[in-house]
Every structure is written in C-alpha cells, then in structure tokens.
Amino acid sequence: MDSEKIEFVLLGAGNIAGKYVAAVNNVPTASIKAVVSGTIAKAEEFAQKHDIEHFSDSLESLAEKVDFDAVIIATPSGLHAEGAIRAARLRKHVLCEKPLDITLEKIDAMTAACEAAGVKLGCAFQHRTAAHNKAAYEAVRAGKLGKIYIANTFLKKYRGQEYYDSAAWRGTWQLDGGGPFIQQAAHTLDLMVWMMGPAKSVFARTATVAHDIEVEDMGHAIVEYKNGAQGVLEASTVIKPGYPNKIEIHGEKGSIILTDGEIVDWNVQGLEAPQFESISNASGATDPMAIGTQNHERIIADFVEAVKQDREPMVPPDSARLSVELILAVYESAREGKTVQL
C-alpha cells in the first residue's frame, strides 16, 4: 500500500465537500473515487462538476460496485456519526469534518464502531497543522510560558440571514448542533483545548439577536481549565463586517497572541520568536467559503500516512471530543444559568 493512493469516497455534496475535492487534488497520495449524496441527482451533478468518476445515493450500494479505502464525512454535523458508522460497517477508514458530531453519545458511538471494525477515525481540525499554531502549542505544552494565567479566544464573524436560509439544517439544534460556538468557533475552541488541555468548568451566556434561527448567534463564556488557567470564549455571527479570529495566551514568563493562525505578538522570557513567512489564508470572517485548502491538504496527507503506517491520525477521536465536550457545557450553562463542571 505504501506506493498506492488512498482512494476516498466523499459522503456529502455541499459547500465543504467542494473544498475537500480541491484539497485532495493537491495531495499526491490521495484521490476522490466517488461521491455519495442524499439524492442521485445531486450526487451526479457534483460528480460532473468536479470530474469524479462514480456517484451514488447510497454508500452501501456504491461499495458493491466500487473499491475504495476510506470515507470523508462532509454531511451536516448532526449526521456525522451516522455516516461514520455506516463506513465502519463496510470496513472503511473515516476522516470526518469538524466537529465529530453534536453529542458526546454520537461521538462515542462512532468511535466504538471504528474501533470494532479496526479502521481509523480522524477529525479535520486542520488548523492544528499550521506552523504558527504548532509553535504556540509547543511553547505552551513545553512550559516555556511557565504557569498559564489567562487564555482567551475571540471569534467575531458575520453571517447574513441568507447564510442560514441557504440550507434547511443551518441554524438548527438537530443538525447544526448550535450556532457559532459549535460551527464557526469549533476550530478556535479546538486549538484552545489542544494547547491548554481539558476544561474544568464553564459559565456562559448566549443570545439570538440578529437572525431568524433557533440557535444562538452570539455568546460569551468564562472557562477554567484543569491546568488552572482562566479565559474568555467569544463566538458570534453578528459582527459586521467580520474580523479575524484571535487567541491570546498569557503566562508567568510572557505572552503569545495569534490572529487567524498567525503569530502577531511573541513576548516570552528567554525564548526567541519563531521565524515564519507571513501567511495569507483568507479567514472566512464574512464569507464561509473564503478559506484556503493548505491546512486541509496537510490533515488529509497525515490521515493517508496514518492508514498506511497503521498509526493514529493527527486528530484522533479522543482529542477531537474535548472541544465538543466544552461547547456542550457552554450550551448547558447558558440554558441553565449556572456554572457547569466538566
């Protein structure tokens, strides 16, 4: 298998599926063999648009006719576990779009199914692959900042009503799982628990102020991590015109600040700032599709190597679960009006 490409089936034919096609096309060790969507017409349209050989409205029926190695889950968030379990039953590896799913029960079920089938399950928290984020992670985890006091993250995006109206599942608890905390902020909150470790408690307030949706469109939370640090989590889709994501980490030996995955301030006692080229990936602050594919390419390439080398992917399910656990605690706290212990 070392010299062969890993052939993926794309489960889902929405906007993010197109990004995966573009990313896989830039990974020499991977290819898209087929696309599966809820209707055969949509699957065929997507396949023709992206020059994909096979298409189907059923993963199981496709597997009877086409050989493939793995499935990329690109369906609405609340359907991720269902797709992963179906893939596992076919003994296919699974790379899942973020978040793994919208409940811990579903995440645990898809994890157990993949373990029982002996297949890999990875999550596309691709921002972990970015050099600036990795440098910050390594400094924090190695104790270079000493004891961490404060760790904040701010996500101030704008989405018009037309964004939520573009698909019936958007802005719903059943399939979206919530608003900006679980959707737009999923990556920044993943970076926080990746760097800081698990959360200990959270107190949150959310509101729906500018959209006709059933979930929140803005919210704030105070989180305490198990390492003793505290911080603010902000997530919004009401901020015009939309601003870059921001992470601030302050410890006893200094601070690191990142904006859209780029280190903009590194002031750490006894530790020189890493030297990287400036990055220019679009942030998606206003347009959700205005994002590059480089980080996706890295996460896909790593997943391919994990399959070939029989090792864990870069973001295994137990690690990807942590951010969902935090986000669900945010929602519970906002709903109940109390501090939630994790």
d(CA 335, CA 338): 8
Instruction: Say what the pLDDT of residue 271 is.
Output: 94
Strand partners, 55: 35
Helix (H) or strand (E) holding 316: none
Which spans in the chain are helix H? 15-24, 40-49, 59-65, 80-89, 104-117, 131-141, 161-165, 186-196, 294-309, 317-336
What's the pLDDT score for residue 135? 97
Select from 41, 44, 66 the least CA-distant residue to 55: 44
- Residue of 211, 153, 141 lying closest to 186 (CA atoms): 153
Of the candidate CATH numbers 3.40.720.10, 3.30.360.10, 2.40.50.140, 3.40.50.720, the domain formed by 6-124 belongs to 3.40.50.720
Encode pLDDT of 246-284 as tens digits: 999 999 999 999 999 999 999 999 999 998 766 555 555
Residue 120 pLDDT: 98
128-286+322-341 domain in CATH 1.10.3720.10? no
Q: Kindly give the parts of the chain with pLDDT less than 70.
A: 1-3, 277-291
pLDDT at 292: 79
What pLDDT does residue 329 have? 98
Per-residue model confidence (pLDDT) at position 23: 98
* Calpha distance 13→287 (Å, rounded): 19
Give the list of residues 6+ apart from residue 81 with CB closer than 8 angstroms, or none: 100, 101, 106, 107, 109, 110
Q: Which helix (H) or strand (E) holds 198?
A: none
Where are the domains positioned within the chain? 6-124, 128-286+322-341
What pLDDT does residue 4 have? 87
